[in-house]
Amino acid sequence: MTTESTKSEKQKMLDGDLYHPSDPQLVEEKARARKLTRAFNETPESKLKKREEIIKSLFGSTGNNLYMESNFHCDYGYNIHIGENFYANYDCVILDGGTITIGDNCMLAPGVHIYTAGHPMDPTERSTGIEYTKPVVIGDNVWIGGRSVINPGVTVGNNVVIASGSVVTKDIPDNAVVAGVPTKVIKYIKF
């Protein structure tokens, strides 16, 4: 059994424990992700297959059908898992120190940000540079409006619509339409 003191910084990151992002292995893995995102962002849209190959080599897992606009940025890539029929519009940022799971038929409008990283509240502890992660889960058939932010540890249910400019700080139930800072349910979708 691995104890806290024998875990690598990467394992601590994946487990949601406090870790040092300046660890050489993590720095190297971030450099790989930056190289791949730069290649993706610089590859013309006319080279659709090449763009898909780059994203599929970057992400932990994907469905067959996906499309992403440039510019896209992430921390590691391998902690991002997306389902079928995924679309991300311009300027998407996914900070994936922790796992991010996105279901089928999801759309991200321009400027959507998804974060898993957090920092200690205590300023002395925070000044050491340590951080932690909390996973994000987004269900099937979710539409996230432009410039919305999904914060660490949030689970978004199925069939959810998140209005533009929203800041999601808590879990969202299935079939909800949410808006605001922080988000609140404004109605439920009836089928």
CATH number at residue 100: 2.160.10.10
Which residue range is the domain that position 17 belongs to? Answer: 8-188
In one letter, which amino acid is 187? K
pLDDT at 37 over 90: yes
Whether 20 is catalytic is: no
pLDDT at 3 over 60: no
Residue 148 lies in a domain: yes
Residue 3 lies in a domain: no
Domain count, the chain: 1
Percent above pLDDT 90 for the chain: 96
Mean pLDDT of 148-154: 98
Burial of 115 (0-12, 13-18, 19+ CB in 10 A): buried
Tokens of 38: 């730069």
Q: What is the pTM of this model?
A: 0.95
Q: Which residue has the tokens 């540890």?
A: 153
Helix, strand and coil content of the chain, in percent to the nearest 5, comes to 25, 30, 50
d(CA 5, CA 182): 37
pLDDT at 2 over 70: no
Q: Which of 20, 81, 113, 119 is catalytic?
A: 119
Q: What pLDDT is attached to residue 4? A: 59
pLDDT tens for each residue of 168-181: 999 999 999 999 99
Residue 2 lies in a domain: no
Residue 1 lies in a domain: no
Residue 103 lies in a domain: yes
Q: Given pLDDT bands bounded at 50, 70 and 90, which one contains residue 110? A: very high
Q: What pLDDT is attached to residue 91? A: 98
